[in-house]
Amino acid sequence: MELTNDGDTGRAGRVRRRRQSRVLSRYAGRPIRLIWRYVARRKLAHAVVLASVVAAVGCALGSQYGIRNLVDALPGGRAHPQHVIHAFAVLVALILADNLFWRIAGWVSARTFVAVTGDIRREMFDYLTVHAPTFFSDKQPGVLSSRISATANAVYVIENTVAWTALPPCLTVIGAIVMVGAVSIPMSLTLVGISAGLAFCLFLLARKGTSRHEAFAAQAASVDGELVDVIGNMGLVRAFCALVLERRRFDTLLAAEGDARRRSLLYLEKLRLLHAFAICILSAGVLGWTVWLWSVGRATTGDVVLIGSLGFSILHGSRDIAVAFVDLTQYVARLGEASETLLIPHAMPEPTRATPLEVRQASVDFENVTFAYPGRRPVLTGLNLHIGAGERVGLIGPSGAGKSTILALLQHFYEPDSGCVRISGQDIAHVTLQSLQGAISIVPQDASLFHRSLLDNIRYGCPDATEADVRRACEDAYCLDFINAMPEGLNTIAGDRGTKLSGGQRQRIAIARAILKDSPILLLDEATSALDTASETAIQAALERLMQHRTVIAIAHRLSTLQSFDRIVVLNRGRVVQQGTPAELAAVPGIYRDTLARQIRRTPAPRPELM
């Protein structure tokens, strides 16, 4: 049977995701291109916002021209009131239109900018989940989650800053310069030169501060990661009386973040101070020039009002542009730093021509497999292992022998350095990850649960299962009794990583989850390690039913859990050193017999009153 529901839509979805992954990786460290990617998806909405802002600024500038006409109409207004009325009506219409266009821009942007942040979070999360396990082992979960939020928030702030803080004064400066030119070309050209010079100087100075902003973004992400790490391990912190130590460590991180933030903010303030000083001098110059034009009869009273108003608009607009640009520099730097962390190319991308895994006979083969974790010696060396369909095989051996690595390679968490892993004769490196995961159920040593209801946790691998199906799986896993004893039953929240349940209860929930998924290949990684003897006996019966007609690979330190298995494979230093039935291995010298003897000696003799 083919363990996938992938049809044409599924294949199209896989192609789309692969293409998206390749495209997104190109945006690492390129924040401007990344922003444009999401803006381009909603071109019409962004165009409406842009047009509304342009129209609003145009009306605002027109209002100043309307004031000029009204002032010039007043001296002869008693003789010709129609001129005053007309100037007044035009001015009121421009003011109303100004406010209307701002509200249109605000209404559309409220929907559009929020939708953009949703697109970013969705794609960043999708991209993040496809990274190989080595990516997650090198980074704190809190750092990664904070960077997804930082990316979306930075784009949101950048869009709002451009729309409301940077674009309006920029348009105002351009429009005002054009209008000033209608009265005094020299003044217009002077204002153009001054504004351009200020903008260029501030641009150069702002670029020099990028490293400070990036350093602050990295420190902030580290603090977030440390918070998640400590909170997630609070039990360990308390067990080792390390509260004071962690508080000191956190204080150190906060101090480093505070220093980085101060350096970033103070640099911005220096730029603003420099610009404010220039504006004070230039404002006085423009005002003096305007009065001189009036004194020599080259400007009317209305022109004085207009030029003075527009001159101040230009100079203050350049200040607002500078402030907005400096702020944008900071957020663009944060966006670039976050994207560099998240959008590094995937180490194990799914092949373009990957096909769904078809499991007719669930055999497993490791063919001359050699594997080493990055920077470490080989864990497996030329491993050859065949597991027939429906066979139950136990893996034992000392720590570091390669038992867990075999399970990890079978789930395609890593690529072998050489050799290949096959299921039903198909190289798993060339099959879709979704179909591979669908063919395998696992009960891990440390059963991890989501902070969701027990019902959601149990049917995690089979989301369409009914509550009746879940209850049958719970009954088979011997966890229905303790679930029914809880006030909310299956709706009980498991807590973060299942902390509201005991270790044995978590393990039984994980077994119920595997029973419900009903995959042809079952992996047991110390599945009964967290259970007491009585619970282990009960679970063994459930596992016995679960293992029927399935290929089972189990890691177990308690050899008693492997006595019903077809074969036991003994590993040492990444190679198979012994294999056979439990009875065969117990009769010959080796790791299995020595381990069995030690466990028998540690098993307490039954007390007479319990016999």
Contacts of 121-126 with C-beta under 8 Å, sequence gap 24+, read 121/148, 121/149, 121/151, 121/152, 123/20, 123/24, 124/148, 124/151, 124/152, 124/342, 126/17, 126/20
In this predicted structure, what is the pLDDT of residue 9?
Answer: 43
Cα(117)–Cα(114) distance, rounded to whole angstroms?
A: 5
In this predicted structure, what is the pLDDT of residue 104?
Answer: 92
How remote is the C-alpha of 143 from its chain's centroid?
9
Phi, psi of 159 (to 5 degrees): -65, -45
In this predicted structure, what is the pLDDT of residue 419?
Answer: 92
Q: Which of 464, 418, 407, 472 is nearest to 441 (CA)?
A: 407
Sequence-distant (6+) residues with CB within 8 A of 142 are 224, 225, 226, 227, 228, 229
Sequence-distant (6+) residues with CB within 8 A of 10 are 4, 434
Which domains can be identified in the chain, with CATH numbers? 13-342 (1.20.1560.10), 355-439+558-603 (3.40.50.300)
Cα(584)–Cα(243) distance, rounded to whole angstroms?
A: 52
Contact call for residues 361 and 536 (beta carbons, < 8 A)? no
In this predicted structure, what is the pLDDT of residue 570?
Answer: 92
In this predicted structure, what is the pLDDT of residue 78?
Answer: 62
In this predicted structure, what is the pLDDT of residue 3?
Answer: 43
Q: Which of 511, 555, 554, 552 is nearest to 531 (CA)?
A: 511
Element (H, E) at 420: strand 418-423
In this predicted structure, what is the pLDDT of residue 535?
Answer: 62
Residues of the chain with confidence (pLDDT) below 50: 1-9, 605-611
The residues pairing with 553 across neighbouring beta strands, listed in sequence order, are 393, 523
In this predicted structure, what is the pLDDT of residue 6?
Answer: 43
Contact call for residues 531 and 507 (beta carbons, < 8 A)? yes
Sequence-distant (6+) residues with CB within 8 A of 118 are 152
How remote is the C-alpha of 54 from its chain's centroid?
35
- Token readout for 24 is 């997104």
In this predicted structure, what is the pLDDT of residue 422?
Answer: 93
In this predicted structure, what is the pLDDT of residue 124?
Answer: 86
Sequence-distant (6+) residues with CB within 8 A of 348 are 132, 412, 414, 415
Query: What are the strands of the beta sheet with 551-555, ordered from one edge?
Result: 440-443, 521-525, 551-555, 392-396, 567-572, 575-580
According to DSSP, residue 453 is labeled B
In this predicted structure, what is the pLDDT of residue 5?
Answer: 42
- Token readout for 553 is 């690979």
In this predicted structure, what is the pLDDT of residue 420?
Answer: 92
Sequence-distant (6+) residues with CB within 8 A of 383 are 366, 368, 369, 370, 402, 406, 419, 574, 575, 576
